[in-house]
Amino acid sequence: MKKTRTLLCKVLFFSTINIFAQSQGLLESFKSLISADKRLMSYYSKETNIPYVIRSKKDLDHKNYKYSIHQDYLNSLFLHNSENIIHQIKNNTCKLYEYLSLDLIQHPILKNDLILSQYNIKNKNKRFVKANKRVYLEDLLKRCPNAIANATLLRKKNYKLLKRFNFEKLLNHKSCLSSIQDLAHSPNFSYLAKMAIDSSKNPKINKSITPEQARGLNLFAKYIKGDKNICQVQEGKNIFNLKNDPVVFQNLLKPLCKDYFKTYRKLKNKEISSCLENIKRNPNFCYTHKTRFNRAFYPLQDCISLAENYILSKNKNLASDCPGKIPNEGIVNASRILSLIQPSKQENHCFSDKLNKLINFSNEEGIENLWDVNLCYFNNLYKEKRCKKVLFGKTDSSINYSKVIERILKEAKFIKSGSSCSLTRYKVLSLGEINQGCKIQMNTEKCSLHTCPFSVFINGKKIKHGITSQSSIALNYLSRTNKDYSTSFENLLISKFNFRKSAIKDFTILKRFLNKEKVIIHGVGCAEDLLPQAFMRLSFNDCTPLPFLISGVKSGLGNIEDVLMNLSIDNMINTREISWNEISSSISTFYKLFNNWSLNAIYKD
């Protein structure tokens, strides 16, 4: 029934186009219309019935003939192409020629050819001929300035033009419908449509554009192909259907599903499908995502909000993590920023990979006290206390805790230089061969990245290892004042990566910077304004500094736009929607108290 209605629309539409002199019999049944079209086109496609006359430019004889596209061919085009794109043509022949030349509309059988009416000016005879599509359209398109402009842009693979389109609005289900209308009425519609179709056919293009643009084009391609429900697809629960998108899967869906099955192992396809179905039905599941044992601020938001905000966030490459394992929110934010600049190929476990990047950065920049976390022991040979830098997390670097403990045990002569230790979470029994050698037993429930109680067993016997932990963590996150050029993280970052810095003082500027490709928007605001449900202002000029990243804008009802942000106490997956007013209050209070503007964009042009 739906298909029939669509066909009727197409026929009605077709009948309004000036190009068709004759009226098509609307009383014909649609089925017979389709079968008639099939019959006609198989007849026309045979060269014995219709001669192939125009193969090159010289075959076009405008002195003696007038040409027009055959009505049956057009009829067939409109029947077989998406209503969404046919509607764009209206009575504009330039658009028809342009869409035909870009293959945005295509004949199902005669893909590269046209059927033309060839009218002899002298003897007034009319006959049907077949023509090469490109040859015939080349001259006609020269009279269509918009088509020339779009064709030039497309020939030069000008991806930069994509910046002009607001894909964030398209990807937000609340603003999606109005965004479709905006895009469809854009003078660059054909450029966008061609890019969308090309990127759906050739995913390599996606490497040259932002993930936001890739997702936006993908969605627009569906619209071009006639999908009327693309805006419904953008609703939060439908984001759980995006398991074939590698970024969404890796950073959003997989961590949620591993948490759902409470496992670290690889999940089977069946398990992922069942997990996503269950999450859709029970969105409150995400309140507890990775929060047990103090891994992040609890509760998170529900799964629908998480998914909607994630899909609109610029920082999709940062996976679910655990900031609660680091006792310094400045270090959390700084680690995330470095991971955005230098994305990781390996899977991020909790936070150790992100933090390891920051420790390396600080070592290179000569900040020694950032991660001054050490395991110390008394060296009997040199009669002195010796300390080694350590990170209690999964990392391949030399400060990995098991490597450090093993090195100390060797230096303190508990084990021989050639032997090694293995890790165990469970109690080591004193019986059996399985316990031979060196075992390090961790109490993972009480572990953070800077501290972790552990015992050492050698051949099943617990030893008094005498290893003590010593930690000091500090980071001068922002410059103390606007005139301070000291070694703050922000300044070091700017000088190392040749970034530029701009203060963000209003919402318009924020949105402008969010449209840049290489930009990080970060800040420190008063927690009492950003999360008043959890942090309360108790007196005059009270402020608890809380670093954060800004990752996008989300439109809601009544065209009110909110800011998407990642607080340094939240799991990265828990992108929050906070109003600009709340953010500006938090920054303005911080500025009044400490005379330092703390919301900045660091970017490359």
Shortest Cβ 325–another protein spacing (Å): 8
- Contact between residue 319 and residue 572 where contact means Cβ atoms under 8 Å apart: yes
Q: Identity (one letter) of the amino acid at 237?
A: K
Q: What 8-state DSSP symbol labels residue 391?
A: B
CB of 383 to another protein, least distance (A): 33
Q: Which is nearer to another protein, 431 or 557 (CB)?
A: 557
Residue 379, number of CB atoms within 10 A of its CB: 14
Give the separation between CA 289 and CA 298, rounded to whole angstroms: 9
Q: By C-beta, is 196 or 569 nearer to another protein?
A: 569
Shortest distance in whole angstroms from residue 272 CB to another protein: 24
Applying CB under 8 A, among 547, 550, 572, 590 the residue interacting with another protein is 547
Q: How many Å apart are CA 48 and CA 242, to the nearest integer? A: 49
Give the residue, chosen from 75, 328, 362, 571, that forms a contact with another protein under the rule CB under 8 A. 328
480 lies in the site for another protein, by CB under 8 A = yes
Longest CA span, the chain: 115
Q: Tokens at residue 584, please? A: 């500006």
Q: Segment near another protein (CB under 8 A), from 127-135, 210-218, 377-385, 553-561?
A: 553-561
In the bound state with another protein, the residue whose beta carbon lies nearer, of 83 and 582, is 582
Q: Which is nearer to another protein, 61 or 542 (CB)?
A: 542
- 95 to 124, contacts with another protein by CB under 8 A? none
> Is residue 477 close enough to count as binding another protein by CB under 8 A?
yes
Smallest separation (angstroms) from another protein to the CB of 556: 6
What residues are paired with 391 via a beta bridge?
Answer: 400
Query: Pick from 474, 482, 500, 604: which binds another protein (CB under 8 A)?
Result: 474
Residue 118 or 313 with smaller CB distance to another protein: 313
The residue with tokens 């050492």 is: 456
Least distance in angstroms from the C-beta of 69 to another protein: 50
Beta partners for residue 65, in sequence order? 120
- The smaller minimum CB distance to another protein, of residues 169 and 465, is found at 169
Per DSSP, the three-state class of 546 is strand
Pick between residue 188 and residue 566 the one whose CB is nearest to another protein.
Answer: 566
CB neighbourhood size of 26 (10 A)? 12
Choosing from 527, 549, 550, 565, the residue that interacts with another protein (CB under 8 A) is: 527
| Distance in Å, CB of 268 to another protein, minimum | 28
Question: Rounded to the nearest whole angstrom, what is the least distance from the CB of residue 595 to another protein in the complex?
Answer: 10
Closer CB to another protein, residue 397 or residue 588?
Answer: 588
The yes or no reply on residue 539 touching another protein (CB under 8 A) is: yes
Among 36-44, 129-137, 390-398, 477-485, the segment contacting another protein (CB under 8 A): 477-485
Q: Is 123 strand, coil or helix?
A: coil
Contact 109, 42 (CB under 8 A): yes
**Pairing between strand 52-54 and 468-473?**
unpaired
Q: Which of residues 235-294 bind another protein (CB under 8 A)?
A: 284, 287-288, 291-294
d(CA 408, CA 428): 21
The Cα angle at residue 405 between residues 337 and 359, in degrees rounded to 5? 15
When the beta carbons of 39 and 480 are compared against another protein, the nearer one is 480
Positive or negative: CA dihedral 313, 317, 319, 324 = negative
- Binds another protein by CB under 8 A, chosen from 211, 216, 255, 330: 330
- In the complex, minimum distance from the CB of residue 330 to another protein, in angstroms, rounded to a whole number: 4
Is 475 an interacting residue with respect to another protein (CB under 8 A)? yes
**Binding to another protein in span 567-596, by CB under 8 A:** 568-569, 577, 579, 581-582, 585, 588-589, 592, 594
State which of residues 545, 549, 554, 572 lies at the interface with another protein (CB under 8 A). 545
61 lines the binding site for another protein (CB under 8 A): no
Report the residue from 226, 327, 453, 466 that binds another protein according to the rule CB under 8 A: 327
Report residue 207 as tokens: 């490497």
Q: Is the peptide bond before 299 cis (omega within 30 degrees of 0)?
A: yes
Nearest partner of 237 among 311, 304, 170, judged by Cα: 304
Cα separation values, 195 from 52, 82, 225, 532, 545, Å: 32, 17, 13, 44, 44
Q: Which is nearer to another protein, 382 or 540 (CB)?
A: 540
Tokens standing for residue 112: 């590269």
Residue 22 engages another protein in binding (rule: CB under 8 A): no
589: tokens are 């209070």
Which amino acid would we find at residue 261? Answer: F
> Least CB distance from residue 472 to another protein, whole Å?
9
Q: Whose Cβ is closer to another protein: residue 45's or residue 588's?
A: 588
Span near another protein by CB under 8 A; candidates 102-110, 138-146, 154-162, 539-547:
539-547
Coil vs helix vs strand at 216:
helix
Residue 261 DSSP one-character state: T
Which H helix or E strand runs over 514? helix 507-514
536 binds another protein (CB under 8 A): yes
Provide the pairing of β-strand 126-132 with 52-54.
Answer: parallel
For every residue of 148-197, DSSP letters joined together read: HHHHHHHHTT-GGGGGGS-HHHHHSTTTHHHHHHHHHTSTTHHHHHHHHH
Q: Strand (E) positions, 70-139?
A: 113-120, 126-132
Beta-strand relationship, 421-424 and 438-442: parallel
The interface mask with another protein, positions 178-217, x = CB under 8 A, is ----------------------------------------
Cα dist from 409 to 416, 442, 450, 455, whole Å: 9, 16, 20, 12
CB 551 within 8 A of CB 486: no
Interface with another protein in residues 292-321 (CB under 8 A): 292-299, 301-302, 305
3-state secondary structure of 377: strand
User: Considering only residues 121, 495, 534, 604, which one is a binding residue for another protein as defined by CB under 8 A?
Assistant: 534
Cβ proximity to another protein, 434 vs 474, nearer residue = 474
Residues in contact with another protein, counted by CB under 8 A, come to a total of 61
Residue 508 in contact with another protein, rule: CB under 8 A: no
Nearer to another protein, 28 or 445 (CB): 445
Q: Taking Cα atoms as reference points, which of 512, 550, 600, 556 lies closest to residue 163?
A: 512
Shortest distance (Å) from residue 400 CB to another protein: 23
Calpha distance 295→446 (Å, rounded): 11
Binding site for another protein (CB under 8 A): 284, 287-288, 291-299, 301-302, 305, 324, 327-330, 473-478, 480, 524, 527-529, 532-534, 536-547, 556-558, 560, 568-569, 577, 579, 581-582, 585, 588-589, 592, 594
